[in-house]
Amino acid sequence: MLTSWTSSVDAQARARQMIDNTRRTVDFGALRSYRLERVRELLRRRDYGGCVLFDPLNVRYATDSRNMAVWTMHNAVRYVYIATEGPVVMFDFHNCEHLSDHLELVDETRPAIGWSYFGAGPQKQARAKTWAAEIADLVASHGGGNKRLAIDICNPEGFLALNSHGIEVTDAQEILELARCIKSAEELSCMRASIATTEAAMARMYEELKPGMTENELWSIMNQVNAAMDGEWIETRLLATGTRCNPWFQESSDRVIETGDLVSFDTDLVGPFGYCTDISRSFICGKANDEQRRLYRLALEQIQYNMDLLKPGLSFRELAEISWKMPASCLPNRYSVVVHGVGLCDEYPSCVYLEDFETGGYDGHFETGMTVCVESYMGEEGGSIGVKLEQQVLIGEAGAELLSVFPFEDKLINREV
């Protein structure tokens, strides 16, 4: 059983109420203004005249405008120009200009010029030049003489075409990651609604889990509940059962779940209002054995210990040094990070283990208002069992405040009688 949890029906009712309350009480104008000003303040600090954003998550953050987000992640047919001191000009896909009509911070919409090979074919170079000329005209009109322009995604043709207009191109991803890492009160309300949606899906997965169903059948429940509650998409399909839980990072398959299997999964769910819920759990299908309980308790100890360390001012290096020490037998299979940020998706910072710090780490500090995920994967090297647990928290003045409330599996914590 799950400790201190209601039925999936009650969980879905709670989630729907939170979504309705969020729609009714959140000042979305204030949310949008806060996010756009975060971007502009960082542009000012780095002396940029503006930015061009293609990444749909960055476009969503800065403007709250959305359109076929997953498709536009790999089709560069939608972008926005933001002047540091001037207008926001949205360039949208064919006949989609009306999609931003309700957004007060979007000053103008225009048709996008697509210059990827899919859309432009052998005309790619010519269309990139046309695109760059239009962007250069905006920079000249609204950049105040500043030709430093930040762009998050830009193929070589576009980069060279902008250079030909005397524009200095720099990376916008740093600006957007840093802007997105501190959440407003309105953002936190949206995130809590997304988390409630995810936890309602998890409750239904738990209730419907039974021997004989496939991993894909179980995972489909997450997708269905999210879609029914106006959620948006799921970034991965990380669910594995039985011996497929070790090593980690196997996605759901048509494997049939058997009695006694561990079921480990990671949600990676972009829910209502575009905010991500990234929490992980491991269920047991039937009765647990002693080895499953041992690894589960270790994973639970790890995330609880590390969560208690989090506070404003703690450096990423300090976290790596003082975080919970994994057993040597599980260390080779450790997760990629100890803690990572979360917002519209997984975001800055990425805090790695001490063993990985010199090759893959970087320093910085936790700040009040950050939302982060505390990770654990526990599986013996060469073993056949793997436990995945993860909690989503807010960094407050006094430390970490738990945002995800889905309970842990009592059958994997305590011995059944």
pLDDT at 297: 97
Confidence of residue 417 (pLDDT cuts 50, 70, 90): very low
The whole-angstrom separation of Cα 85 and Cα 159 is: 23
395-407 mean pLDDT: 96
* pLDDT number for residue 7: 86
Each residue's pLDDT tens digit, 83-124 = 999 999 999 999 999 999 999 999 999 999 998 889 889 999
User: What pLDDT score does 117 carry?
Assistant: 87
Q: Tell me, what's the pLDDT at 416?
A: 58
Q: What is the mean pLDDT of residues 181-186?
A: 98
Q: Residue 62 — very low, low, confident or very high, per pLDDT cuts 50/70/90?
A: very high
Catalogue all structural domains in the chain, each as residue range(s) with its CATH number. 46-180 (3.40.350.10), 186-413 (3.90.230.10)
Burial class of residue 257 (count of CB atoms within 10 Å of its CB; 0-12, 13-18, 19+):
buried
pLDDT at 173: 96
- Is omega for the bond preceding 156 within 30 degrees of 0, making it cis? no
Report pTM. 0.95
Structure confidence by residue, pLDDT tens digits, 272-285: 999 999 999 999 99
User: Sign (positive/negative) of CA torsion 162, 163, 168, 169?
Assistant: positive
**C-beta separation of 274 from 247 below 8 A:** no
Looking at residues 204-226, what average pLDDT do you find? 97
The predicted model gives 51-77 an average pLDDT of 95
For residue 4, what pLDDT is reported? 57
Asked if residue 363 lies in contact with residue 315, where contact means CB atoms within 8 angstroms, the answer is: yes
DSSP per residue over 337-363, as a string? Answer: -SEEEESSSEEEEEE--GGGHHHH---
Distance CA(283)–CA(241), nearest Å, equals 9
The average pLDDT across 291-313 equals 98
CA distance 18 to 25: 10
